[in-house]
Structure 1
Amino acid sequence: MSATSNDFSEQVILITGGSSGIGLASAQAFINAGAKRVYITGRSQARLTKAREILGDRAIPVEADVASISDLQTLHAKVAANGDKLDVLFANAGIAIHNQFGSTTDVEFATTFDTNVKGLFFTVQSLLPLMKPASAIVLNASIAASKGMPNLSLYNASKAAVRSFARSWANDLKDSLIRVNTISPGVTRTPIMENGLGMKEEDIAHFSAYLAGAAPAGRMGRPEEIAAAVLFLASKAASYVNGVELCADGGLIQV
């Protein structure tokens, strides 16, 4: 990798779900790599404000729920009003909640799929007119797309759909030379463990102990490690990488 392959100087980036976890770490990484402007979205204005304090003046927070078409239209309008075109779109926003097969409700189904599938689809479609030719789109899936994790069938299937979108869109967008790739994180220590999956510190400690033996890396991932993989997929170093799934999982599902 050349010294300039991860240089995002003067580039405009948009990250959905950018107020915490992998999204926030990615926003920081893009800014550290020289990005001119990084739009971050989230559903909580308070968390967006805190993220802006961490990231500095090059971060542009926009309150938006990707499950809302009107919010996505407003997001498009705000970027366009600034005269910006996007070099990188990281469709990162997603949720993870348990569901019990046999007693899953239609509300639970809609909650997961409206954000993880519908929301991601219309995020990219809404912002596509603002993408520069030969720009990069990165979709956040999960190793759950390749595993039958118990009590997570909705989440697993939603992330498999994300993986499929990358394959299709890489073909759909070939005339514009826009690359579409998927990052599939493994177990990563982010707030979604508590806020989505309802895990307590004891649960997280037990999971960490399991990973010590199950994953070659012997531990959970850190958000900044996933961010580094996102930046690779978005960078010039990945100019011939298209339609792939990059699993950043410490080897958990690889061996």
Structure 2
Amino acid sequence: MNRFANKIVLVLGGNSGMGLAAAQAFAAEGAKVHLTGRNQETIDEAVASIPGATGYQSDIADIASTEEVVAKVEQADGRIDVLYINAGVGGFAPLEGITEDDWDFVHGINLKGCVFALQKAVRIMGEGGSIVVTGSIGAHGPLEGNGTYAAAKAGLAMAMKVFARELLPRKIRLNMVSPGPIDTPLLHRNPGMGPDDVARLKEMMIQNIPMHRMGESEEVARAVLFLASDEASFITGEDILVDGGLINLS
């Protein structure tokens, strides 16, 4: 398929995991890809794996940095046809262990950063544009120790529904994908969790997933590309769970 021929795609958080898988898939279907990340080494590796891609070091929590990326994309290509907001960070702590710094860090990226990234990017999006945002099943079901992350993703989910309505007159679609347990680098970057903690968390997740396995980044990317493509032309405000049945079948 070549669903994204001549399309300009910006993937925020496209240097690893689900974002990288999506960026590679967009390029494989004809898109010109721009991507961001916080780590220059992984950005360089991502760009090297995607013909014609351009990478930018940018932290979505830094709104001015995101605005600068959008300006560079505009200078290079004049527009964004598809926006995939994938930047995110985890953070597990029980109620008694939540700190203000942890709360602000997680919400600054997962909620505030994503909202303002959308605001900055839609400025150069035209009719027929498509936006996909990475949510989480954390917004759909309670998990002990997940209050900070769940609150950010639940707030993001409702905000995106509001913005999907607001963008209807401009004929821009906005949808979400909410992954379940996906084995990505994000899982290994939870503050306060060592390798043994991550291993125990993964085993707990697998035991609770009806399909009895963790998902792969490429499986999420396929959902992202579907929503971003004209195949989903009558879909907006949707939130697709990519979770092995965890929310609906457990």
For the aligned pair, the TM-score class normalised by the smaller chain equals: over 0.9
Deviations 1:72-121 (A, max 9, x none): 12112101111331111011101001223124221111101111111001
Describe the shift of the 1:214–1:68 C-alpha distance in structure 2 as closer, same or farther (beyond 3 A).
Answer: same
Q: Which residue of 2 aligns with 1:124?
A: 118
Q: Which residue of 2 aligns with 1:51?
A: 46
Give the CA deviation at 1:23: 0.3
Give the CA deviation at 1:202: 4.9
Give the CA deviation at 1:69: 1.7
Does 2:156 correspond to 1:162?
yes
Which segments of 5 or more consecutive residues in structure 1 lack a partner in the other structure? Answer: none
**Partner Cα distance (2:59, 2:227) in 1:** 25
**Partner Cα distance (1:102, 1:229) in 2:** 36
Q: Which residue of 1 aligns with 2:131?
A: 137
Residue identity opposite 2:25 in structure 1: A
- How many residue pairs get matched? 249
Residue identity opposite 1:27 in structure 2: A
**Partner Cα distance (1:235, 1:165) in 2:** 22
Give the CA deviation at 1:196: 2.5
Give the CA deviation at 1:44: 1.2
**Partner Cα distance (1:209, 1:97) in 2:** 18
Deviations 1:44-89 (A, max 9, x none): 1111011111223x21101111111210121121011113311110
**Partner Cα distance (1:122, 1:71) in 2:** 11
Residues 62 and 113 in structure 2, CA contact (< 8 A), matched pair in contact too: yes
Other structure's SS at 1:39 match: strand
Q: Which residue of 2 aligns with 1:189?
A: 183
**Partner Cα distance (2:216, 2:164) in 1:** 28
Q: Which residue of 1 aligns with 2:33?
A: 38
Give the CA deviation at 1:201: 5.4
Which segments of 5 or more consecutive residues in structure 2 lack a partner in the other structure? Answer: none
Give the CA deviation at 1:15: 0.6
Q: Which residue of 1 aligns with 2:24?
A: 28
Give the CA deviation at 1:234: 0.4
Residues 166 and 244 in structure 1, CA contact (< 8 A), matched pair in contact too: no
Deviations 1:157-196 (A, max 9, x none): 1110111122101110111111111100000010111123
**Of residues 147, 150, 167 in structure 2, which corresponds to 1:173?**
167
Q: Which residue of 1 aligns with 2:14?
A: 18
Runs of 4+ aligned residues of structure 1 deviating over 6 Å after TM superposition are none
**Of residues 106, 115, 126 in structure 1, which corresponds to 2:109?**
115
After TM superposition, the score normalised by the length of structure 2 is 0.94
After TM superposition, the score normalised by the length of structure 1 is 0.92
Describe the shift of the 1:41–1:247 C-alpha distance in structure 2 as closer, same or farther (beyond 3 A).
Answer: same
Describe the shift of the 1:188–1:197 C-alpha distance in structure 2 as closer, same or farther (beyond 3 A).
Answer: farther
Q: Which residue of 2 aligns with 1:62?
A: 56
